[in-house]
Chain A
């Protein structure tokens, strides 16, 4: 069992079984002793999870275990929720995401996000894709057009929409909308891409395209993806974290976790015996 450390030992939770290979480029996001409460009920317990740079990290676990909650903490999407309380820190190379004086807007600009349900805006396909650039104040038509094409090609949507970029995005099918949202997520070339079950609305072909995309993007982006599909997790991810009831149960190299998990809970879940 490979136990080469990527994060200092003291930041590991005693409850979590770790087996992380040495990261190629170090840590992009270091989640340390992270706890989260929705009002009085605690949703995350003592999460310690180094997210390695340039790799694909998958979060798996039964429904309601806190995967989305954790993911949404990474770009502080949870700020919108009243009565949310957190403890612990999430460190990037430079700063703590929840530290004082953090520019949330700048933080989010560095992270693309794809949601569980497609959420295109009520505007044209083109405007949807270049939205992150527009809000960043980029108005140069050539740059926008080039970005739009690159992002749509990467999201495997270009061929379907290249003749109707001016049409409303809400006229697309659900799967197309989701790929549009992925294109939007990568349009501004973020450092980190957060994906919450991006394929749950897609057919197998589109899913395969998205997985291809994830493969291509890995190495360049740090990707955190939530998925319910074990095969998908096995196919696309380098690291996988298994969550259960708000705790990170097992975390590490995908091959190891899937082939040779430390804990029986993990293997039961992966093989479909519970969850």
Chain B
């Protein structure tokens, strides 16, 4: 055999014993050996899953991210002679129905027939709900005669009635008519918004506080009456004290009302007269305008500014317009508060249960049954937990608490109805199997030698568990907590029964003792999505909000999980290292 210098490998193989040489050749030649069908199937399944999830996330992100970007306004003259103006929202192709086709002019019918009976159409957000009774309008290509992008069209986001699209005719500054000037209007609008915030502050903050205290005084009287009897001297003393305080509060209340009236009257003197594309006009206080901009005259920097300010409003303010506009701060707050509260409940409960089950209970048939039951609990539909939470926590437990501690408020329930406490307890119940299973596994994974080491030092069983077993199992327990948190934060169905509301009157945390009001109902991002997307007057108007809120909910869950994972990894680093 002649070895050429170009084929050293072959030469080496040839010199090796015959069998190994043959095996080497077959390995490189046989394709089926590298493309095992099972491997392809596994890889394919994984790729399929990844693509699904990536596509889902991509769709949510894309829709969520573009929502707040300002769009241009188009003025469209229709074949019927009508003129509309609005933001083109989306477009699509559809099959024109026979009855519609019959009504079209010859030219239009020819256009449709040229496309095999199909036509393109665009959805315009014409806004001006107060004038049109609708926010959106489909315009087919064949009806469209002329499209322009006029520079004097503005988009207004109003405190009420949603968006307005139109021109600005003139202003009224301090009661005197003034010609429209963009800079002037911007300045006056931001001043007006400050007045608006002031009014809000008085209505919600100051008057709210007075009302709260009035309520407290009335409750104090009822309480004294309930405890000591109607005519007892104690009740009379309390009533007298409370009455004088109530008189005081009423005076404050009247003062605040007076002040409100003043500001409102002042506010009335600043107005803008707006004209929609068809010529009808609307008078609007400047303080009612949240944001306005000339949609077709924006530079890139302006657009970015509007985009960011919309995001900021979304994250930092309360919803308006039946939740389809404004922000979701209360929902963010409710979601986070409820999830954290749930973790506070589920962590000790799950860990203690698992500890007993794994470390103390005699392993036998009974523990097996308990274990199987716990695992099965994870498969119970979550709405069942909601029903249980309402029936047991809210009505039974909460009703009991009310009867014992808040008799003066009855028949109005305090704890006897849905609230953030009952919601988080319900979710804790829902997620406890996850924690138990994860904790048991983590405990079982602690090496026996470590326990023996501790026992040999003269530690009791509890000391061993406390000092050696639990720290070692902590990262595994944290994994269980993370799974539970992810499940709990994304759960909506049971919450609808135990305390989530469309619009919460107050956050569960405020400045009044005891600061954390666990009995209050709350808002939740998941429910917000459901409400805006499927329960609002105009689902098309809510759609962008659905995407942004979904994006936010995902981001929030990712952020909470990332936090938990960070903590877990720090624990892991602390409690483990290279073994040898």
Any A CB within 8 A of the CB of B321: no
A181 in complex: contacting residue of B453, B471, B576, CB < 8 Å: B453
Cβ contacts under 8 Å, A122 to chain B: 450, 468, 471-472, 574-576
Is B579 interfacial (CB 8 A cutoff)? yes
B 26-53 to A, binary, CB cutoff 8 A, 1 in contact else 0: 0000000000000000000000000000
- The smallest C-beta distance from B228 to any residue of chain A, in angstroms, reads 52
A19 at the interface (CB under 8 A from B): no
Q: Is B455 an interface residue (CB 8 A)?
A: yes
Binds A, one of B54-62, B95-103, B459-467: B459-467
Of B447, B452, B574, B580, the residue contacting A77 (CB under 8 A) is: B452
Name the one of A106, A173, A174, A188 contacting B457, with C-beta atoms under 8 angstroms: A188
Of all chain B residues, the one with the shortest Cβ separation from A113 is: B456
Asked if residues B453 and A108 are in contact (CB atoms below 8 Å), the reply is no
Contacts of A132 in B (CB 8 A): 457-459
- Find out whether the CB atom of A119 lies under 8 angstroms from the CB atom of B471: no
B455 in contact with A80 (CB, 8 Å)? yes
B86 CB to closest chain A CB, in angstroms?
A: 64
Determine whether B511 belongs to the interface, using a CB cutoff of 8 Å to chain A: no
A135 contacts B579, CB within 8 Å? no
Contacts of A106 in B (CB 8 A): 458
When A170-B575, A170-B576 are in contact, do A117 and B449 touch as well, CB less than 8 Å?
yes
Q: Is the CB of B577 within 8 A of A168?
A: yes
- A111 nearest in chain B by CB position: B456
| A135 in contact with B467 given A119-B449, A171-B577 (CB within 8 Å) | yes
Q: Mark B465-483, 1 if CB is under 8 A from A, else 0.
A: 0011001100000000000
Number of contact residues on B: which range applies?
Answer: 20 to 34
Q: When chains A and B are docked, how far (Å) is the Cα of A106 from the Cα of B467?
A: 19
Instruction: Tell me the nearest residue of chain A to B572, going by C-beta.
Output: A122
Q: How many of A's residues come within 8 Å of B, CB to CB?
A: 31
Given A131-B467, A135-B463, A168-B574, A121-B456 contact (CB < 8 Å): no
- CB B490 to nearest CB in A, in angstroms, measures 33
Residues in B whose Cβ lies below 8 Å from that of A168: 574-577
B475 — nearest CB in chain A belongs to which residue?
A: A122
Tell me whether B159 is interfacial, beta carbon within 8 Å: no
Given A117-B449, A135-B463, answer yes or no on A75-B575 (Cβ-Cβ < 8 Å).
no
B63 in the interface (beta carbon within 8 A) = no
Q: Enumerate chain B residues within 8 angstroms of A108, measured Cβ to Cβ.
A: 455-458
B454 within 8 A of A: yes
B residues 212-246 near A (Cβ < 8 Å) are: none
Smallest CB separation, B318 vs chain A (Å): 47
From B453, B467, B579, contact of A174 by CB (8 A): B579
B472 to chain A: closest residue by CB: A122
* Residues of A with C-beta under 8 A to B17: none
B5 at the interface (CB under 8 A from A): no
Contact A121 B452 (CB under 8 A): no
Cα–Cα, bound, A174→B580 (Å): 5
Residues of B within 8 A of A121 (CB): 450, 453-454, 467-468, 471-472
Q: Residues of A contacting B574 with CB < 8 Å?
A: 122, 168
Top-4 shortest CB links A-B = A109-B458, A122-B575, A113-B456, A171-B577
